[in-house]
Structure 1
């Protein structure tokens, strides 16, 4: 229990979630998201998605996590349930706003969320990269990058949604070391977002190692994670497809939890769960409707790595 009780800069205690009122699978993102269900765009899953986020937020609050829950009533923003792509927050009061590939996803950026952050937390500056959309340069937040907040490393799978120029620029501004690599599934399709491939917690990292193409780069990723003192837990491609890598460590009521989907939890082996449970309490959230849109629990959560005011 002692390891679970340890607070960590890796695990935020406050998060933002968006509850959709007009949820549907986004046709604009289906081109390069192999995880996305191929369902009719006009199929209405709004009530299920609304209920899933509502119940997930309550469950996380039951474990002591502060959840800032926002509603989205708009029809033009089908992926607004995934706020982690358009902004991120960082220790020291820094906020980044990101350029998004799909035009309808750019509408997800909300001034009221940024104003809440400035009101409730200590925000020193906001760096806005969204203007780079006009140059077709994209970096979709903590979907594109998986952060090691302790060792200051930004892991990034190369894709149209992760531009290397902006990655370098972001890492210079925010003091991270970039570690980019090529990752593809067995069909040769590039992994669209890094956060479906890997999850970094305080004491371990979940990684779909076999999907990192270059042997030397794969070894470097493992070495870098192990140098940070983490146990590397390898996930199979089948487990990645079940969103086992799309999880996030949070800090709740004096203990750390790993928020993941029920789909992901069911895909993990008993041995993997046992190892993870040594330092985090596993909290599965049931969001099968949301997962049809090509993202899971990690995608629905924007962690707040800022100091609370007062």
Structure 2
């Protein structure tokens, strides 16, 4: 299965702009508002988003963040963990030191209490000591059916470690570099999942970010080979988080593409029509989370593919 009905989300308690991630996440902005206000707005957006998902029959498992240690980005769990249908859990090395405390064993216990089975854990976190990072499904877009893994290399996505991941999980690597314009310079995009979304039958992707023509052609060829319609977005739309989407299963196995309202409002009617050929769109306002956190809807949802305990 490419998509799941089970989504893990972490409700924030100390959300704010994370100064440690801002060095290479050019989507973040510092706003002149007190952190307590920012956190309270983020909680409101989070709760409303969860309500929207649950109203469509998505099984959202919400875990509250803890006050200590200080983890301003805990709202983005898909960067430190991945869950797989064979019962394997992946744990990943994180670029920002204050994000490493987001990895909590009790979250795994919560999932097991809910009847999900963890067979084994593949732990890459020791790579942090060497300054090597790979931020889970932020850095890696997984085509779980065709066993391909797409990765835009950056300071948060190391090529060698990505290849090691592909060998461990039996995926074919599709490697490229994706850039965005920052003050007139082309700079690496921090996460693959802000420039591409892989759904069952289509991909929403900002091909303009792949400056190398051979790499761009390679990505296009892989997507076409697997029968995916390519829905192109512009770099400007990407800045509204139009690449940061996730297809999920709702009630009665109905398909939905989840995104923020900012992403939705940036799309053209033609793009919306192309997506709606395959599934209904659901969106929710995540303005504070996007502005201060530099991440959006997809980053907030860790897909749980674990099997049920027997």
TM-score by length of 2: 0.95
Residue of structure 1 in register with 2:46 after alignment: 53
Following TM superposition, by how much is the alpha carbon of 1:116 offset from its aligned partner in structure 2, in angstroms?
Answer: 2.2
Whether 1:69 and 2:62 are equivalent positions in the alignment is yes
Residue of structure 2 in register with 1:6 after alignment: none
Residue of structure 2 in register with 1:148 after alignment: 143
Residue of structure 2 in register with 1:305 after alignment: 305
Post-superposition Cα deviations, 1:12-46, rounded to whole Å, max 9, x if no partner, equal 10010011122111000110000011335953311
CA distance in 1, matches of 2:76, 2:107: 14
CA distance in 1, matches of 2:73, 2:10: 10
CA distance in 2, matches of 1:244, 1:17: 20
Residue of structure 1 in register with 2:259 after alignment: 260
Post-superposition Cα deviations, 1:154-207, rounded to whole Å, max 9, x if no partner, equal 111110100111101111011111111111113311100000000000111011
Following TM superposition, by how much is the alpha carbon of 1:308 offset from its aligned partner in structure 2, in angstroms?
Answer: 2.1
Compare 177-186 and 100-109 and name the one that shifted more. Answer: 177-186
Compare 67-76 and 246-255 and name the one that shifted more. Answer: 67-76
Residue of structure 2 in register with 1:216 after alignment: 214
CA distance in 2, matches of 1:308, 1:278: 32
Cα distance change of structure 1 residues 295 and 284 upon mapping to structure 2, 3 Å threshold: same
Residue of structure 2 in register with 1:230 after alignment: 228
Q: Alpha carbon RMSD of aligned pairs, Å?
A: 1.2
CA distance in 1, matches of 2:165, 2:303: 18
Q: Name which of 241, 244, 261 aligns with 1:243.
A: 241
Please say if residues 30 and 36 of structure 1, whose CA atoms lie closer than 8 Å, have aligned partners that are also in contact: yes
Post-superposition Cα deviations, 1:76-120, rounded to whole Å, max 9, x if no partner, equal 100000000000011211110000010000010111111123342
Please say if residues 27 and 41 of structure 1, whose CA atoms lie closer than 8 Å, have aligned partners that are also in contact: no
Please say if residues 26 and 41 of structure 1, whose CA atoms lie closer than 8 Å, have aligned partners that are also in contact: no
Instruction: State the secondary structure of the residue aligned to 1:16.
Output: strand
Residue of structure 2 in register with 1:90 after alignment: 84
Post-superposition Cα deviations, 1:115-144, rounded to whole Å, max 9, x if no partner, equal 123342122111111111111110001101
Instruction: State the secondary structure of the residue aligned to 1:79.
Output: coil
CA distance in 2, matches of 1:158, 1:13: 29
Post-superposition Cα deviations, 1:37-80, rounded to whole Å, max 9, x if no partner, equal 13359533111111111111111011111000011132610000
Whether 1:22 and 2:14 are equivalent positions in the alignment is yes
CA distance in 1, matches of 2:155, 2:166: 18
Residue of structure 2 in register with 1:168 after alignment: 163
Residue of structure 1 in register with 2:195 after alignment: 197
CA distance in 2, matches of 1:127, 1:73: 25
CA distance in 1, matches of 2:4, 2:32: 36
CA distance in 1, matches of 2:112, 2:171: 23
Aligned length: 302
TM-score by length of 1: 0.95
